[in-house]
């Protein structure tokens, strides 16, 4: 069994604190209005459309709090926090000299 992975939790916590301070509660600029509208009615965005993001983010529209734009921003927030933790874990494992096979299974 693997030991408690501190780099994952530290990086996730720090990124969560930093990102939560700047999370948007409403619709922003650039593609934000188009993304919110296409997720709300399950339509298509302009190409490439990001189909995996659209499918996963549409599940967050079922959350019982906030506006549609906030729910989508919250989904992106969770994805960024988890990504920061995974990247920190990979970098830590590479610095510790773990075997590549073990690293692939931990990620």
Q: How far apart are CA 2 and CA 67, in angstroms?
A: 40
CA diameter of the chain: 48
User: 30, 46, 29: which is closest to 38 by C-alpha?
Assistant: 46
DSSP string, 15-42: HHHHHHTT--SS--STTHHHHHHHHHTT
Tell me the mean pLDDT in the region 51-69.
81
User: 18, 2, 5: which is closest to 86 by C-alpha?
Assistant: 5
Each residue of 65-102: pLDDT tens digit?
Answer: 888 888 888 888 888 898 888 888 888 877 776 565 55
* pTM for the predicted model, two decimal places: 0.67
User: What is the pLDDT at residue 35?
Assistant: 75
Say if CB 15 and CB 84 are below 8 A apart: yes
């Amino acid at each position: 069994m693997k030991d408690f992975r501190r780099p994952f939790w530290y990086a996730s916590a720090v990124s969560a604190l930093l990102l939560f301070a700047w999370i948007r509660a409403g619709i922003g600029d650039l593609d934000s209005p188009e993304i919110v509208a296409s997720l709300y009615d399950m339509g298509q965005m302009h190409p490439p459309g990001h189909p995996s993001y659209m499918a996963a983010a549409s599940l967050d529209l079922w959350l019982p709090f906030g506006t549609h734009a906030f729910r989508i921003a919250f989904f992106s927030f969770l994805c960024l926090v988890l990504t920061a933790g995974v990247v920190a874990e990979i970098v830590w494992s590479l610095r510790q000299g773990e075997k590549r096979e073990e690293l692939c299974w931990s990620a």
